[in-house]
Amino acid sequence: MLHRPPLPLSARRAKVLGGRVRVPGDKSISHRALLLGALATGRTRITGLLEGEDVLNTAKALNALGCPIKKDEAGAWEVFGRGVGGLEEPVADLDFGNSGTGVRLMLGVISGHSMTVRLTGDASLSRRPMARVLKPLELMGLEVLDKGRDTLPLIVRGSADLIPIEYQVPVASAQIKSAILIAGLHASGETTVIEPTATRDHTERMLSYFGARVTATKRQGLRAVSVKGDGELAGGDVKVPGDPSSAAFLAAAALIVPGSDVSIEGVLVNPTRTGFYTTLREMGADVAFTAERIEGGEPVADIRVRHARLRGVRVPPERAPAMIDEYPVLACLAAYAQGETRMEGLAELKVKESDRLAATAAGLLANGVAAKVDGDTLIVDGGRSVPGGGLVATHLDHRIAMAFLVFGLGADRPVTVDDAGMIATSFPEFRPLMEELGAAFAQPEAART
C-alpha cells in the first residue's frame, strides 16, 4: 500500500466563476467498461475513460488476472478480453486502493473463476463492509477463506461452477447488484437481483450492449433485474460520458459564487444519477440541460448553471440512490441557501469512503455553519453568514475534500481541507479545472513552513 504525505489545501472566496469545460469520464461506467471488457471476447476500445487512481487500480488488477489493457496513441484504452470465465489466478495480491466499486465488482468477477485471490485496499477501504457482497456471492459458490470476515484484506476462492440465485438486496446499492449480475454471467441459468429502490443501471445497460441477455421487470413495485448465464459477451467500442458526480462540484461552485455562469459539456444525465440536479432546481437554481443525446447507450447533455439565490428544501429519502455521492457538496451548498435543508434517508453515507454524515456535519460546524445529524437525516441551517476559517478533516475521502474546497469559495475566511491528495482517486483535474473557471486555491500557510 502506498503511503504519501497529506496535502492540505485552502480555498479562498472567489470573485466570479465562468467558462465552458468538460469533466473527466464517469467513474462507474469506467470501472464497468474495463471489467466487462475483460470478460468479453475480442477487443473493447474505451474513449473518455476516467484516468483516476480508482479506475487505474481496476485496470492493474485485470492485468494481474491475465487481461492485457493498454492505452493507444490516440488516448483510448484497449482491453483484450479473455471471455467469460477466462481470467487467470494472479501471482500477487490485488490492491484496490480507495475504491469500493473496484473491489466489490471484482468480487463478482472472481466468483466465477476457480482461483484463489487476496484482495487489499487502503485504510479507508479496509474499514468498509464487504459482507453485503460476500453474502449473495457465497450463495452462488464463492468461498471466503477467512469465514465471517467483513473487511479487507480478504482471501476468496471462486468457482467455475456458480449457482444462479434470486436475491433481494437489503440496501439500495448498485455495487451489490452489479457484483451479483457479473457473477451471474458465470452461472448456469438465470440470476435475478431485486432492488428496494432503483439504483444506477450502468451494468445492465453495458451488459445488454455487449450482448448479454438482461431483462428488467417490476415485481410488487420493486425493480428486478435478471441475467442469463453461460453466454458470451462481445467486446465493442465504449464512449464514457462526463461524470455527473464530478460536474456537481462545478455546478455547486457556480451557485455559491455570485455572478457565475458555468457550462459543462457532455455530462451523463442518466435519470438514476441526476437527483442532485433535480434538487438544485427545487432550491431555485437555474440549471439547463441542453443538446440532450444518447452516446454509447447512455443519455448525455451539456449542463449550464447560472448563479441564483437558493432556498433550503427537504430532500426525500427515495431520491438518495440517484444522488448518493452528492450529499456532501449539497450540504455545503445548503449553507448558502435561505433556510433549512433536510436530507433524509442517508444511512448509506456512513459506509462510504468515510462516514460522510459525520464528516460533512463536522466540516460545516468547524466553519461556523449550523449543521446536525439526526439519525439518518442531515440538517443544515443556511442563509446566514458563512464565516469559514476552519480546518476540515477529510478522512481519506475525495468527495469531502472537493465539497469543502467548493464551500470555501464563498466563505468570509479561507477554508482548509487537511488532505486534497485523495481527489486524484476520482477527479485528478479538479484543481486545474476549477482554477480555469476562476477559483483560487493555495497551500495553507502552515503547510509551507
Pairing state between β 116-120 and 154-157: antiparallel
Among 78, 93, 190, 348, binds ligand S3P (CB under 6 A): 348
The region of 174-182, 279-287, 300-308, 406-414 touching ligand S3P under the rule CB under 6 A is 174-182
Smallest distance from ligand S3P to CB 196, Å = 12
Looking at 122, 302, 325, 419, which residue is catalytic?
325
Q: Which stretch binds ligand S3P (CB under 6 A): 110-118, 144-152, 167-175, 247-255?
A: 167-175
Cβ proximity to ligand S3P, 159 vs 178, nearer residue:
178
Q: Measured in Å, how far apart are the chain's first and last C-alpha atoms?
A: 28
Give the C-alpha separation, 236 to 84, whole Å.
Answer: 15
Instruction: Let me know if 237 is a catalytic residue.
Output: no
The Cα–Cα gap between 148 and 360 comes to: 31
Least distance to ligand S3P, CB of residue 99, Å: 9
Q: Using omega within 30 degrees of 0 as the cis cutoff, is the peptide bond preceding 153 cis?
A: yes
Q: Considering the complex, what minimum distance in angstroms separates the CB of residue 192 from ligand S3P?
A: 18
Task: Using the minimum distance from each CB to ligand S3P, give the nearer residue, 101 or 263.
Answer: 101
Q: How many CA atoms lie within 13 A of 80 on its CB side?
A: 9
Residues between 65 and 84 with contacts to ligand S3P, criterion CB under 6 A = none
CA gap 401, 395 in Å, rounded: 9
Q: What's the closest the beta carbon of residue 49 comes to ligand S3P, in angstroms?
A: 14
Q: Distance between CA 318 and CA 49 in Å, rounded?
A: 30
**Rounded (10°) CA dihedral 400, 301, 241, 425:** -10
Least CB distance to ligand S3P at residue 194 (A): 15
Q: Between residue 190 and residue 229, which ones bind ligand S3P under the rule CB under 6 A?
A: 200
**How many residues appear in the chain?**
449
Q: Residues 6 or more apart from 449 whose CB is under 8 A from it? A: none
Q: 308: helix, coil or strand?
A: coil
Question: Smallest distance, Å, CB 324 to ligand S3P?
Answer: 5
* Grid cell digits, residue 425: 482517486
Using the rule CB under 6 A, is 101 a contact of ligand S3P?
A: yes
Report 13-32 residues binding ligand S3P (CB under 6 A): 28
325 lines the binding site for ligand S3P (CB under 6 A): yes
- CB nearer to ligand S3P: pick between 101 and 111: 101
Considering only residues 10, 98, 178, 367, which one is a binding residue for ligand S3P as defined by CB under 6 A? 178
Residue (113 or 200) nearer to ligand S3P, CB: 200
Q: Are strands 116-120 and 94-95 parallel, antiparallel or unpaired?
A: parallel
Tell me whether residue 323 or residue 411 sits nearer to ligand S3P (CB atom). Answer: 323
Q: Does 175 bind ligand S3P (CB under 6 A)?
A: yes
DSSP tag of 384: S
324 part of the interface to ligand S3P, by CB under 6 A: yes
Give the sign of the dihedral formed by CA 152, CA 154, CA 160, CA 164: negative
Instruction: Give the nearer residue to ligand S3P in terms of CB position, either 59 or 262.
Output: 59
Among 10, 98, 124, 173, interactor with ligand S3P by CB under 6 A: 173
Q: Tell the smallest beta-carbon distance from residue 267 to ligand S3P (Å).
A: 16
By CB under 6 A, how many residues form the interface with ligand S3P? 10
Q: Please give the full DSSP string across 70-100, using - where no structure is assigned.
A: EE-TTS-EEEEEE-TT-----SS-EE-TT-H
Please provide the DSSP assignment of 112-171 as one string: TSS-EEEEE--TTGGGS--HHHHHHHHHHT-EESSTT--SSSEEEE--SSBPP-EEE-SS
Nearer to ligand S3P, 336 or 430 (CB): 430
Annotated active-site positions, please?
325
Q: Residues in the site for ligand S3P, rule: CB under 6 A? A: 28, 101, 173-175, 178, 200, 324-325, 348
